[in-house]
Structure 1
Amino acid sequence: MYLTKVKHLPNAVELTIDGEKAGRIDPAEYYRLNLSEEEPLDEATVEKIRELARDFTAKSKALSSLASADFSKRGLERRLRQKGIDEQKARETVDYFAERGYVSDEMFARRIVTAYSVEKHFGRRRVAQELYKRGIAREAADAALEQYALPDEENIALFFERYRSWDLSDQKMRARASNALLRYGYQFEDIRQVLRDCEEREDYIE
């Protein structure tokens, strides 16, 4: 087998073996192999090139994904599998980026909890669902909820503070508020308690 073509790209080197593209590899790896065009290749070198090409492809896809969105480790692995990367290579690639701080379940969970609990005022149950949906392990999810989520009672009160003009003495308005909070992931008992507290405050009732 022969290295029949070497094409230098901005961030990669594309190699062709016996007239067929073998893939792209990192330029540093290319120079480390000390390759040149029309050079005969043994089987070990060919396999090394193909492995480097698989590695480069996986890392490139991971970088592209991370540039457009945040991911948990499991979420990034799932994305790579969707992009055609085999299971072992996907896991190795995720570990590579996790070791370098580009992927962190703890930081990702913190951002999700802050966005849904603190900013959107969703209930703890709904926030937990968002964490699990994005591939956060239960231990990391529970830790983030415990450390960063607002108490449900406080978030419900903030919801009513935002809509303080609602007439809670009106049954239709009470039902509308309760249904909205249920969709936000709150327990009915907590909603009912905050409604009772609001009723005792005249400024919530027109």
Structure 2
Amino acid sequence: MDQRVITAIETQKQRRNRCSIFIDGEFALGVEADVVGDLRLHVGQRVSDADLERISRADLVVRAKRKALNLLEYRHRSRAEIVGRLRQGGFDDDVIGQVVTFLERLGLLNDEEFARNWVRYRQSGKACGRARVRWELRRKGVSNDVIERSLSEISGETEYALAMDVARRRWEKCSVADSRLKRQRVASYLRRRGFDWEVVSEVLDKLASEDD
């Protein structure tokens, strides 16, 4: 097997987290500094073409991990979201699989937890009903089984209370004099927020009775 020798490993001036590896006096490839440590690369080490391929693949994995961790630092994400963003970054399925396994072992990637957190988030602030939350989670690539388990945490009483809170604020802001038109507008708004017709009707009946 033809082998060559690593003659220098230098930190890159513009990107301090990356190192340039020189083989037989010539630049061969650039890698993340973590790869140098993880693979214990050193000057004088003899390497084959297979070794260089292994080093290059290790660099891809480290870069993909860093990208995924940066994404998760911004907000929690579903498995499908991470996979999609890594594919957009040009990483292949083998590298992506290693990164996903790494994140799952650390507890940083868990669709069950992600879905539960999303449901809780959508019960606060600009609250939404089950239908809207279901649609959002599907768009994020969460499986139907996981979605339905997470939505089961929203009781009928909670759904009603959320709808009432949203509807009351909308009702008070609506300046339409015609009560029928006012009801239609608020109903449409609640439907867009993902509340089902039964809840919407019950809430609007309550608000209308308060105006009488």
TM-score, normalising length: structure 1: 0.82
Judge conservation of contact 1:25–1:49 (CA < 8 Å) in 2: no
Shift in Å, 1:97 = 0.9
Count of residues paired in the alignment: 200
Counterpart selection for 2:165 from 150, 155, 158 = 158
1:120-144 Cα deviation digits (max 9, x unpaired): 2211000011111112222221111
Question: Which residues in structure 2 correspond to 1:1-20 (within 5 Å)?
Answer: 1-8=4-11, 11-17=17-23, 18-20=26-28
Counterpart selection for 1:125 from 92, 114, 131 = 131
2:81 partner SS: helix
Task: Name the residue aligned to 2:151.
Answer: 145
Given residue 8 of structure 1, which amino acid in structure 2 is its aligned partner? Answer: T
Counterpart selection for 1:84 from 85, 90, 104 = 90
Judge conservation of contact 1:6–1:14 (CA < 8 Å) in 2: yes
Shift in Å, 1:82 = 0.7
Question: Which residues in structure 2 correspond to 1:13-162 (within 5 Å)?
Answer: 13-17=19-23, 18-26=26-34, 27-31=36-40, 33=41, 35-36=42-43, 39-148=45-154, 151-162=158-169
Judge conservation of contact 1:113–1:149 (CA < 8 Å) in 2: no
Task: Name the residue aligned to 1:195.
Answer: 204
Judge conservation of contact 1:16–1:22 (CA < 8 Å) in 2: no
Unmatched tracts of structure 1, length 5 or more: none
1:138-189 Cα deviation digits (max 9, x unpaired): 2221111112577432322222333453589712211110110111112223
Judge conservation of contact 1:113–1:145 (CA < 8 Å) in 2: yes
Unmatched tracts of structure 2, length 5 or more: none
1:37-59 Cα deviation digits (max 9, x unpaired): 6x442233223212211211211
TM-score, normalising length: structure 2: 0.80
Give the whole-Å Cα distance in 1 for the aligned partners of 2:134 and 2:177.
29
1:79 partner SS: helix
Q: CA RMSD in A?
A: 2.6
